[in-house]
Structure 1
Amino acid sequence: MPDDAGAEEAAEAPDLTNKSVIKATMLLSELGRHPKGITVTELAQEVGMTRPTAFRLLLSLEQTGFVERVDNKYTLGWEIARLGRLADPHRGIISRVQATLDALAEQLNETMGYAVVHGETDFDVIAEASGSRLLSVSQGYVGQRYPLHASATGKLVLAELPEERIEELLPEVLPAMTRYTLTDRAELMRALREVTLQGYATMDNELEEGLFAVAVPVRDSEGRLIGALTANGPDQRMKSGRLPHIVERLRQAAHDVAKNLTQGVPVSA
């Protein structure tokens, strides 16, 4: 049978991955979480690697500038910073989320978007896809900046913060985008508590009249907010009993995106 032959061939195919390279990237990823430095013993424990293996790899990375050592603590090196300035920070993410956005746009027949969350209050819309409806939200979200208090993704981001921090960041009176914008900070904070309870955020005519958006969080394995999936469309259509289904479909897709973005390769020490 062809299927049996294919499976047999796959089973016999050699593993071409270099486990030392994979282990080195695991160390670099973990170092990124410790900007003040971490010892080799602590680092080995964090990644589930033996200390001699971690030390040997760190020594090699230090010689090429990818790692720096001060006393007995290691940090990311200057070469990482140099390469980071040359790289497109979103290229790899787009390739991993675009298929999901396209599938969602086809299933829900609305305009879908994905935003990367970075820093405390920053997010960038990096990918989108549209359905086939004649009456739909036109594409063009990528690269645009949106106010935190008047966007669904912005509300997700704010809902992650302590209320004391929100009071520091936002004035008591917020700028109005439309007559429906939440301009009172106290009212917005009540809305953010609801976002936390329900696990998604909406934007109902607050950015532009006639426009409705719903956003669900994408989180990494430790629960940190790393992105947001959104569905955008005319308010009457989005609110006509479809919202629970849209939210559920977005949540399923967010789980798949998070797994795709954060999946690692298990490597024995």
Structure 2
Amino acid sequence: MSSNNDDDAAAAALPVNGIQRTFAVLRALADAPAQGMRVTQVAKSVGLTQGTTHRLLQSLVTEGVAEQDERSKLYRLGMDLFSLAARAGNASDLRSLCRPALLRLCGSLGDTMFLLVRSRFDAVCVDRVDGPFPIRAFTGDIGGRVALGVGQGALAILAFLPEDEREEVIRYNVPRLREFGVYDEVYLRTEIERVRETGYAARQAGLLDGMAGLAVPLFDSSGGIVAALSVGTLTSRLTEERLPTVVQMLKREAQSISRRINPFDPALRRPMQSSNPALEPKS
């Protein structure tokens, strides 16, 4: 027992390990059922001892980013975390800047609109305005993420990354995309070139039955890719006849927003970070 305690103490003394463990616990809680998780469940999910996991959870509870139900003793994310996330999401004011456009497009098109931004090798949904038609999307609700290259919004972002960053993302993500069955590197590169030529992503791979989408890139005023505006709808609604109109409307809104995005905003400067070899997918 003392040996385990010594190992835990030594690991806790390493700030990077401590941070990684803390975020692993937070992500486990984010994926938990609504009622929460037991310590043993969290420990199993993150691969830590029950003692270490309990100490991390109690620290998170103390800071208000996790909470424990007094009766069930289950843990879940706390409201302070959502408060921090909301403040972080508005740091660059990108969401506020794009919100009126999402509302206009949703009202005009009658379809669900998404705002996606890049997070390393993924695209994350930071805002969503629902239309009247029930749809399914790769990112789900706000906060959901998907590998760059999967879905129209994530593909639009990937296509317009600087070449060296785009190549690193492709190298990292191709093994992740194989689980979808229709993706390989040749297919992905073909789609990227198509998006770069047309200025939008709209090809349907049939991954979500009955669903269709279209996305345009969102650049800052210096021409750097920042995000993507995306529409999600039913296949029957995104016809060949309607597609040019949807493209035109999204591009017009994107161009209007781009002129107002400050390229020097520190919250938008997300330099590519080399992948951790220990986390790279096996080829």
TM-score range, shorter chain: 0.5 to 0.7
Residue 107 of structure 1 deviates from its aligned partner by 0.5
TM-score by length of 1: 0.57
Paired position in structure 2 for 1:193: 193
- Find out whether 1:146 has 2:146 as its counterpart: yes
Paired position in structure 2 for 1:111: 112
Runs (4+) off by over 4 Å:
none
Paired position in structure 2 for 1:208: 208
Cα–Cα, structure 1 residues 128 and 186, in superposed 2: closer, same or farther, change >3 Å?
A: same
State the one-letter code of the partner of 1:112: M
Aligned length: 174
Paired position in structure 1 for 2:228: 228
Paired position in structure 1 for 2:255: 255
Residues 124-163 of structure 1 mapped to structure 2, 5 A cutoff? 124-132=124-132, 135-137=133-135, 140-159=140-159, 160-162=161-163
State the one-letter code of the partner of 1:93: L
- Secondary structure at 2:88's aligned position in 1? coil
Cα–Cα, structure 1 residues 96 and 174, in superposed 2: closer, same or farther, change >3 Å?
A: closer
State the one-letter code of the partner of 1:97: C
Asked if structure 2 preserves the Cα contact closer than 8 Å seen for 1:151 and 1:206, the reply is no
Bigger Cα Rg: 1
CA distance in 1, matches of 2:242, 2:129: 19
TM-score by length of 2: 0.54
CA distance in 2, matches of 1:243, 1:98: 22
Gaps of 5+ in 1: 1-84, 265-269
CA distance in 2, matches of 1:184, 1:122: 17
Cα–Cα, structure 1 residues 164 and 226, in superposed 2: closer, same or farther, change >3 Å?
A: closer
Cα–Cα, structure 1 residues 117 and 170, in superposed 2: closer, same or farther, change >3 Å?
A: closer
Q: Deviations over 1:186-231 (max 9, x none)?
A: 1211111111111111251544111111110110111100111011
- Secondary structure at 1:189's aligned position in 2? helix
Residue number among 168, 171, 174 corresponding to 2:171 in the alignment: 168
Asked if structure 2 preserves the Cα contact closer than 8 Å seen for 1:113 and 1:230, the reply is yes
Gaps of 5+ in 2: 1-83, 265-283
CA distance in 1, matches of 2:228, 2:253: 11
State the one-letter code of the partner of 2:231: A
Aligned residues: CA RMSD: 2.8
- More displaced, 165-174 or 212-221? 165-174
State the one-letter code of the partner of 2:255: H
Residues 28-177 of structure 1 mapped to structure 2, 5 A cutoff? 88-91=87-90, 92-119=93-120, 121-132=121-132, 135-137=133-135, 140-159=140-159, 160-162=161-163, 164-171=167-174, 174-177=177-180
Cα–Cα, structure 1 residues 149 and 96, in superposed 2: closer, same or farther, change >3 Å?
A: closer
Cα–Cα, structure 1 residues 205 and 236, in superposed 2: closer, same or farther, change >3 Å?
A: farther
Residue 99 of structure 1 deviates from its aligned partner by 1.4
